[in-house]
């Protein structure tokens, strides 16, 4: 059996008439850039988050650095984030001209560890960017308390968790802004690139609208800006898909629960942890091998048997050669949890349109591999999940 990692075409086939109708409406309108479909989708996206504003932009990376720029953060400023996220989180800080400061992640959630943020703050620190990694929210109330205490700005990188929430909090409400990505592989994805910022702040809304469109507020009137817009065709695709996002996330949660039940007895791997009160929407279902040397072996075994397993992310950002060291980045404390995650992570196929027999086939393969290695399995959690528990996961 073959099990793909993504189900883009299955998803398109399921709601083809709705997507095609919106695309046709855009094509026939003659209005393709900053037209009525974009306006409609922005209103729907803001309503979905319960925020006052939503601004469509070119992609998820632009969404982050445009938010930083709208907050006046740039050269000489430090922005705290973590190293086991997708490269773009740090890249956006770098594009804004600021310095990324990496603190370690929580061993259970893999999101930024709130206990380690304060020690990383210096007089240059201007903002914190928590990432709702893999589909589970970071501990926003704890992070907001720190931000408020030190007068720091807060931007949520929500590229992976649209539709998630934490106990008593929603995305976009405890921060200056939350940014998202609509590249096809995200939970809400278009057939190409796209991104957005949601915010309750009218100043942020106005600043990002201006920055995304050549610094223009009226025809022929410009100040400093860029070109980073969400095209109306993409807005039409996203408007059709947004109606389904909660049901799709529920399906992801169903497959995650099936994986977790099926793999519970495995002794060679640690399973993802959903904290109480959180709605994890499983952008990714990431298991961690209890020995780093097992990771590539397990991925190869799955791939050889037809399962498209991947790793997110096998090189932590501070280990990337391309990252601008010195002015561009700084490490605060040890990053042992992030490094162990990079060494041990394996992502199993996860998309709403998976079928039960596909999930069961993946479970069967992992169990087979586990049985071959169980005798060598260390007692207790592996290195990626055995770090000291922090305030969010204790
Ligand atoms: C995908 C992603 C981004 C970047 O989004 P693009 O649309 O590819 O620019 C940023 N941060 C995280 C955590 C992501 O997963």
Which among 231, 267, 308 is positioned nearest to 34, based on CA atoms?
231
271 in contact with ligand 1, CB cutoff 6 A: no
Query: Residue 81: its pLDDT value, please?
Result: 98
Q: Distance between CA 140 and CA 72 in Å, rounded?
A: 22
**Matching fold, domains 8-242 and 245-376:** no
85 in contact with ligand 1, CB cutoff 6 A: yes
195 in contact with ligand 1, CB cutoff 6 A: yes
- For the cut 90, the answer to whether the pLDDT of residue 388 exceeds it is no
Alpha carbon of 8 to ligand 1 centroid (Å)? 18
Alpha carbon of 248 to ligand 1 centroid (Å)? 20
Query: Residue 391: its pLDDT value, please?
Result: 86
CATH code of the region 245-376: 3.90.1150.10
177 in contact with ligand 1, CB cutoff 6 A: no
Which among 91, 96, 101 is positioned nearest to 208, based on CA atoms?
96
Q: What is the mean pLDDT of residues 109-113?
A: 97
- For the cut 90, the answer to whether the pLDDT of residue 380 exceeds it is yes
Alpha carbon of 348 to ligand 1 centroid (Å)? 19
**Do 127 and 152 form a contact (C-beta atoms < 8 A)?**
yes
- Most distant CA pair in the chain, distance: 71
For the stretch 304-326, pLDDT in tens is: 999 999 999 999 999 998 776 66
* Minimal-distance CA residue to ligand 1 atom 14: 159
- For the cut 90, the answer to whether the pLDDT of residue 354 exceeds it is yes
CATH topology of domain 8-242: 3.40.640
Alpha carbon of 81 to ligand 1 centroid (Å)? 14
86 in contact with ligand 1, CB cutoff 6 A: yes
What are the domain boundaries of the chain? 8-242, 245-376
Tokens describing residue 318: 């501070």
Query: Considering the chain, what is the average pLDDT of its residues?
Result: 96
Alpha carbon of 185 to ligand 1 centroid (Å)? 10
89 in contact with ligand 1, CB cutoff 6 A: yes
Relative to the CA of 183, which ligand 1 atom is closest? 7
**Total count of residues recorded for the chain:** 394
* Minimal-distance CA residue to ligand 1 atom 2: 159
- Please give the helix or strand (H or E) that residue 126 lies within, else none: strand 125-128
Q: What is the mean pLDDT of residues 253-277?
A: 98
Label residues 20-34 b or e (16+ Cβ within 10 Å = b). eebbeebeeeeeeeb
59 in contact with ligand 1, CB cutoff 6 A: yes
- For the cut 80, the answer to whether the pLDDT of residue 41 exceeds it is yes
pTM (two decimals): 0.97
For the stretch 355-373, pLDDT in tens is: 999 999 999 999 999 999 9
Tell me which of 58, 64, 86, 312 to substitute to probe ligand 1's pocket, judged by most ligand atoms within 8 Å of the beta carbon.
86
% residues pLDDT > 90 (the chain)? 96
- Minimum mean pLDDT among 39-43, 205-209, 296-300, 319-323: which range? 319-323
Query: Residue 392: its pLDDT value, please?
Result: 82
- For the cut 70, the answer to whether the pLDDT of residue 124 exceeds it is yes
For the stretch 161-189, pLDDT in tens is: 999 999 999 999 999 999 999 999 999 99
Secondary structure of residue 233 in the 3-state scheme: helix
Q: What is the DSSP letter of 352?
A: T
Q: What is the DSSP code string of 166-219?
A: ETTEETTSSSSEEEEE--TTSSS--SS--EEEEES-HHHHHHHHHHHBTTEEET
């Amino acid at each position: 059996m073959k099990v793909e990692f993504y189900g883009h075409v299955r998803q398109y086939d399921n709601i083809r008439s709705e997507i095609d109708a919106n695309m046709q409406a855009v094509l026939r309108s003659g209005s393709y850039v900053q037209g009525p479909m974009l306006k409609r989708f922005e209103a729907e996206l803001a309503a979905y988050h319960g925020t006052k504003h939503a601004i469509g932009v070119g992609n998820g990376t632009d969404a982050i650095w445009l938010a930083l720029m709208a907050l006046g953060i740039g050269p000489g400023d430090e922005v705290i984030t973590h190293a086991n996220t997708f490269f773009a989180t740090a890249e956006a800080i770098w594009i804004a001209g600021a310095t990324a400061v990496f603190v370690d992640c929580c061993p259970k959630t893999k999101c930024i560890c709130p206990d380690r943020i304060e020690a990383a703050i210096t007089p240059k620190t201007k903002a914190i960017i928590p990432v709702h990694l893999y589909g589970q929210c970071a501990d926003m109330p704890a992070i907001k308390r720190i931000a408020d205490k030190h007068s720091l700005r807060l931007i949520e990188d929500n590229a992976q968790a649209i539709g998630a929430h934490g106990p008593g909090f929603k995305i976009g409400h405890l921060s200056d802004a939350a940014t998202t990505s609509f590249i096809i592989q995200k939970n809400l994805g278009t057939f190409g690139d796209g991104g957005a910022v949601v915010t309750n702040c009218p100043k942020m809304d106005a600043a990002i609208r201006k920055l995304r469109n050549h610094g223009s507020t009226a025809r022929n009137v410009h100040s400093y800006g860029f070109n980073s817009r969400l095209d109306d065709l993409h807005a039409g695709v996203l408007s059709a898909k947004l109606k389904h996002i909660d049901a799709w996330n529920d399906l992801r949660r169903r497959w995650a629960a099936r994986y977790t039940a099926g793999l519970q007895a495995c002794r060679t791997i640690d399973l993802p942890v959903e904290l109480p009160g959180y709605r994890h929407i499983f952008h990714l279902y990431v298991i961690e091998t209890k020995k780093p040397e097992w990771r590539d072996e397990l991925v190869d075994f799955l791939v050889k048997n037809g399962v498209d397993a991947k790793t997110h992310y096998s090189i932590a950002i501070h280990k990337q050669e391309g990252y601008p060291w010195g002015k561009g980045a700084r490490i605060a404390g040890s990053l042992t949890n992030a490094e162990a995650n990079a060494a041990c992570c394996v992502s199993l196929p996860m998309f709403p349109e998976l079928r039960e027999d596909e999930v069961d086939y993946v479970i069967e393969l992992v169990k087979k591999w586990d049985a071959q290695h169980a005798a060598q399995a260390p007692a207790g959690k592996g290195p990626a999940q055995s770090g000291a528990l922090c305030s969010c996961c204790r």
